[in-house]
Structure 1
Amino acid sequence: MNTRPMNYWLMKSEPDECSIDDLAAAPAQTVPWIGVRNYQARNFMRDDMRPGDGVLFYHSSCPQPGIAGVAEVCSAAYPDASQFDAGSPYFDAKSSPAAPRWVHVDVRFTRKTRLLSLAEMRQTAALSTLRVLQPGSRLSITPVSPEEWAAVLQVLAQAPR
């Protein structure tokens, strides 16, 4: 029996690449989280993410960034095929199928939420420790503590400020 505690993550996606609505409309409401090209974010997927982990789906690089929904990790990490595709913006000439450099996980839609904007997160004391709010934090994937996860869900259940 697996007694590993569930992990929680905040995963950023540009909505014009993959929005929470795109995830909800995808076959089986699942997408591969391709294109991560940061070693620390890759290591989170490779070493720490497991099926069943919770995901805060965050829209980034858009007029109103923030948490737009909840999802779950639904696969173990496996090689990101986009690294081998010379036509892909995520192509990596130094990577090979025999020695892949980049991995991804599949993410499954759980529910769309009201947008919890970056501004509202900054105004909520219980969320002050979220890595996405820390100066200089630019990682596309960051861990979320169980306390932060619970606080986000509590704030999402309230009317926006």
Structure 2
Amino acid sequence: MKLSKEKLQSDKLSCLDNTEKAEESETASSGGKRKVVKESSESPDSPEFSRWLMKSEPDSRFENGIDVKFGIEDLKALPDQTGCWDGVRNYQARNFMRQMKEGQSAFFYHSNCKEPGIAGIMKIVKEAYVDHTQFDRKDVHYDAGSKPDNPKWSMVDVQYQRMLKRYLPLSELKKYHLQQRAKGGPLKDMALFTRARLSVQPLTTEEFDFVLSLEDKEPL
């Protein structure tokens, strides 16, 4: 989780071992991995996606005395560079995680920081399972309304793949979005701008590939 480095590694390992036991506009509300805004559920007929963008906060921010910081460097520092994406408390974001399949790619997006943007790429290595933090009274994401026999919240496991060749700031992505909204292009309907509050967002293959291509280009 997001305390000391030792606590971070310990909690993440615990998170990975608890399967059997358990089986965020850029404001504080965007929350990334720690998003808590609740919204209505996605339609069961929502389209399937194979690429994702997942937000988390790289800078320290304390909730109830606990630092919820978790940037891409924190993921990279974990054993096997793997951790669970816990703490999502938004129904749409949760439902998107439940669509994720092992082996799919996701952008690691730094949110609620001085310069929000895409820092790197991670891979889904375990499909959705019960998020045990919802039952932990000491966790900042404890949900008293969620019961072990009918849990509300899920998480997935992700593994660090690599940093992008250059950081892709939100400001640059927005320029492309505005250009393509007017003239057409892969980013014209990108969820980062049409569903900005969501901490877990779907990407089309075209959106993912276009964004990835930007790492080899000069900043716009």
Q: TM-score, normalised by structure 1?
A: 0.91
Give the counterpart letter for 1:151 in structure 2. Answer: F
RMSD: 1.5
1:63-102 aligned at under 5 Å gives the runs 63-102=114-153
Tell which structure's C-alpha radius of gyration is larger.
Answer: 2
Aligned to 1:38: 90
**Take 2:104 and 2:140, find their aligned partners in 1: how far apart are those partners?**
28
Aligned to 2:51: 8
Query: 1:6 deviation in Å?
Result: 7.1
1:23-34 aligned at under 5 Å gives the runs 23-34=75-86
Higher helix share: 2
Structure 1: stretches of 5+ with no match in the other structure: none
| Larger relative contact order (Cα-Cα within 8 Å, sequence gap ≥ 6) | 1
1:9-158 aligned at under 5 Å gives the runs 9-16=52-59, 17-46=69-98, 48-113=99-164, 114-124=166-176, 125=180, 126-134=186-194, 137-158=196-217
Which SS does the other structure have where 2:126 is aligned? coil
Number of corresponding residues: 155
Q: Deviations over 1:11-61 (max 9, x none)?
A: 000113211111111111111001100111111112x10111110110000
**Take 1:145 and 1:22, find their aligned partners in 2: how far apart are those partners?**
27
Give the counterpart letter for 1:105 in structure 2. Answer: V
Percent identity, aligned pairs only, is 45
Give the counterpart letter for 1:145 in structure 2. Answer: T
Query: 1:77 deviation in Å?
Result: 0.5
Q: Deviations over 1:83-121 (max 9, x none)?
A: 001111100001122221100001110101121001110
Give the counterpart letter for 2:188 in structure 1. Answer: S
**Take 2:153 and 2:130, find their aligned partners in 1: how far apart are those partners?**
6
**Take 2:192 and 2:201, find their aligned partners in 1: how far apart are those partners?**
7
Query: 1:133 deviation in Å?
Result: 1.8
CA contact (8 A) 1:33 1:106 kept: yes
Which SS does the other structure have where 2:119 is aligned? strand
Q: TM-score, normalised by structure 2?
A: 0.67
**Structure 1 stretches of 4+ moved >4 Å:** none
**Take 2:200 and 2:212, find their aligned partners in 1: how far apart are those partners?**
18
CA contact (8 A) 1:6 1:54 kept: no
Which SS does the other structure have where 2:113 is aligned? coil
Structure 2: stretches of 5+ with no match in the other structure: 1-47, 60-68, 181-185
